[in-house]
Amino acid sequence: MEPKIIRNKEEMRNWSRSMRAQGKTIGLVPTMGYLHQGHLSLITEAQKHTQLIVVSIYVNPGQFAVNEDLSTYPSDLHGDIEKLKSIPNGVDVVFNPQNLYDYGVEREQLKEREKEKEGGVVSCLEDEEHETWIRVEKLEKGMCGKSRPVFFRGVATVVAKLFNIIEPDVAVFGKKDYQQWRIIQRMVRDLDFAVKVIGSELKREEDGLAMSSRNVHLSPQQREQALSISRSLFEAKSAAKSGKNISSELRRSVIESIEAAGGKFDYVEIVDQESLQTVEEIKNGVVVCVAAWFGKVRLIDNMEIS
């Protein structure tokens, strides 16, 4: 099935409204492209809930800080379209805007320089014209929010823009980005978006590595080393199921496994699945969340423990 390619915001909005006027329901799968099987599983999940599927492909500059990997983020639009065509029942629209922050003002869109303002470093998006950001204040503070202070405001803002442009009934997010999924759920609840947010289970490669567009940057040696993340998470879950419920001990075992493999951990946290607050002892549903560096590649992964 050949999807319709839409690049203009107004055309996208008009298509959605015309479909809704016909009584059709719309599902959205937001992506930054370079699709892998994990992304395709999100589309399969979305097909269970709505009649029409929109996949957005947009590398959002608003969530990258000036020292991060925006310029090297992998891209293959033609390959992405071919993968989408291979899905049973396909997708209806690929929304691939050039710039969601273009308001018709002559200016340099992406200025690669560090900017300091009250409140800290801003994103690499030149924001002299774009001033409005969405913050989910408590949920964004920990884990990825510590080392990437502009990330979640950029994610929440661009997702809100996509919701306003596409007006979906359902949006599907992968649980690999666990904190992001919970943040979007909370934003939708707090701001009364008429969108049902669904979390789709994390997908892994056959060797256990969590699927990620960044995996392509790992050398063969680094990829083998990175398997320490998933191995340590499965071991922590097994230990918790056998009665070892002290978070500090489980956390230490995950860190030691990653470091022994040659990785450098950004964070390892055991948090409540809803509030994302750290817990000292595992009693109810928690999630073990990890971010670690192997070479110049930062990987994230998690494991739910009920």
Characterize the bridge pairing of strands 93-95 and 4-6. parallel
Distance CA 223, CA 217 (A): 9
Catalytic residue among 39, 49, 78, 130, which?
A: 39
The yes-or-no answer on residue 217 being catalytic is: no
Do 15 and 52 touch, CB atoms closer than 8 A? Answer: no
CA distances from 10 to 17, 164, 166 (A): 11, 11, 9
Tell me the C-alpha distance between 8 and 13, whole Å: 9
172-60-215-45 Cα dihedral, nearest 10 degrees: 10
The 3-state secondary structure of 208-224 reads: CCECCHHHHHCCHHHHH
238-255: burial string, b at 16+ Cβ within 10 Å, e else: ebbeeeebebeebbebbb
- Backbone phi, psi, residue 52, to 5°: -120, 145
> Residue 49 in 3-state DSSP?
coil
Sign of the CA dihedral running 281, 283, 284, 289: positive
Tokens of 160: 């809100």
- Catalytic residue set: 39
